[in-house]
């Protein structure tokens, strides 16, 4: 009986560490991407984070002009409202939602990252909050 309890405890501990680690990884990924966007480093954000399929739908020029239209500046900070990490058929997904809060205005953000070994952004929405 003690051996079974030990195995259950170890299994629960591993599960918590895996889920917590994946959540931290997704949060770090979203943070790094958003910091690049806020600082105006759109080429690096585009090159390093966007999945090739998303790049086919969203050109570098459209991405850059869209980010510039938001008028982000160093006063902006990020607040995440929702972060979910899931796995399916060997692929991992991270859904992130929140706000980029700037002086007197907010920008809604919704990101989806997906991948097997490395997560890349497959969906992005950055929109001024009404």
If DSSP codes are grouped into helix, strand and coil, which group holds residue 72?
Answer: coil
Predicted confidence band of residue 122 (pLDDT cuts 50, 70, 90): very high
pTM for the model stands at 0.81
Cβ 49 vs Cβ 40: under 8 Å: no
| Opening angle at CA 66, ends 65 and 69, nearest 5 | 85
Examine the pLDDT at 14 and tell me if it is beyond 50: no
- Domains of the chain as residue ranges with CATH: 2-128 (3.10.450.100)
Cβ contacts of 83 within 8 Å, gap of 6 or more:
23, 26, 27, 30, 94, 95, 96, 97
Question: Which pair of structure tokens corresponds to residue 113?
Answer: 């990252």
* Residues in CB range of 77: below 8 A, 6 or more apart: 100, 101
Q: What is the pLDDT of residue 22?
A: 67
pLDDT at 23 over 60: yes
More confident residue, 42 or 16: 42
Query: Cα separation of 67 and 88, whole Å?
Result: 31
């Amino acid at each position: 009986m003690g051996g079974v309890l030990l195995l259950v405890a170890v299994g629960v501990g591993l599960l918590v560490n895996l889920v917590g680690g994946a959540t931290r990884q997704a949060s770090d990924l979203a943070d790094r991407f958003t910091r690049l966007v806020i600082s105006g480093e759109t080429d690096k954000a585009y090159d390093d984070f966007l999945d090739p399929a998303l790049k086919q739908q969203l050109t570098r020029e459209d991405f850059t002009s869209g980010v510039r239209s938001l008028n982000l500046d160093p006063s902006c900070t990020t607040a995440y409202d929702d972060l979910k990490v899931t796995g399916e058929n060997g692929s991992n997904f991270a859904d992130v939602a929140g706000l980029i809060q700037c002086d007197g205005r907010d920008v809604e953000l919704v990101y989806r990252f997906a991948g097997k070994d490395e997560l890349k952004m497959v969906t992005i929405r950055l929109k001024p909050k009404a």
